[in-house]
Amino acid sequence: MPREAEPSLNERNFVSRALEEGLRVDGRKFDQCRPVSLKFGDEFGVAEVQFGKTKVLVKVSAEVTVPYTDRPFEGVFSIASELSPMVAPSFEVNRPTETEVLLSRMLEKTIRRSGALDTESLCLVAGKKCWSIRADVHVLSLDGNLTDAACLAVVAALRHFRKPDSSIEGEILTVYTPAEREPVPLSWLHSPFCITFSYFGEEGDTAVLLDTTWLEEQLRTSSCTFSLNRHGEICQVSKLGGVSIDAPVFVQCAQVALAKSKEYTELVDRKLAEDAKSRDKGGLMAELTAENDR
In the bound state with other proteins, the residue whose beta carbon lies nearer, of 120 and 182, is 120
Buried residues in 264-293 as b, exposed as e (16+ CB within 10 A): bbebbeebbeebeeeeeeeeeeeeeeeeee
Separation between Cα atoms, residue 200 and residue 223, nearest integer Å:
9
2 part of the interface to other proteins, by CB under 8 A: yes
C-alpha gyration radius of the chain: 22
Question: Smallest distance from the beta carbon of 52 to other proteins, in angstroms?
Answer: 10
Count CB neighbours of 232 within 10 A: 12
Q: Are 225 and 257 in contact (CB under 8 A)?
A: no
Burial class (CB in 10 A: 0-12, 13-18, 19+), 72: middle
Q: Which of residues 176-215 bind other proteins (CB under 8 A)?
A: 214
Binding mask 109-128 for other proteins (x = CB under 8 A): x---xxx-------------
Helix (H, G, I), strand (E, B) or coil at 149: helix
Q: Which amino acid is at 245?
A: I
DSSP 8-state symbol, 110: I
Nearer to other proteins, 128 or 231 (CB): 231
Identify the residue among 63, 246, 269, 274 touching other proteins (CB under 8 A).
246
276 binds other proteins (CB under 8 A): no
Q: Which H or E element spans position 184?
A: strand 184-185
Footprint on residues 144-183 left by other proteins (CB under 8 A): none
6, 169, 287, 293: residue in contact with other proteins (rule CB under 8 A): 6
Question: Taking contact as CB under 8 A, which single stretch among the options 8-16, 34-42, 177-185, 281-289 is the one that binds other proteins?
Answer: 8-16
Verify binding: residue 10, other proteins, rule CB under 8 A.
Answer: yes
Between CA 204 and CA 223 the distance in angstroms is 9
* 102 near other proteins, rule: CB under 8 A: yes
Q: In the set 191, 212, 222, 265, which binds other proteins (CB under 8 A)? A: 222
Residue 247 interacts with other proteins (CB under 8 A): yes or no: yes
Q: Is 227 helix (H, G, I), strand (E, B) or coil?
A: strand
Chain positions contacting other proteins, by CB under 8 A: 1-14, 17-18, 21, 23, 25-27, 53, 55, 86-90, 96, 98, 101-102, 104-105, 108-109, 113-115, 140-143, 214, 221-222, 224, 228, 232-248, 250-251, 254-255, 258
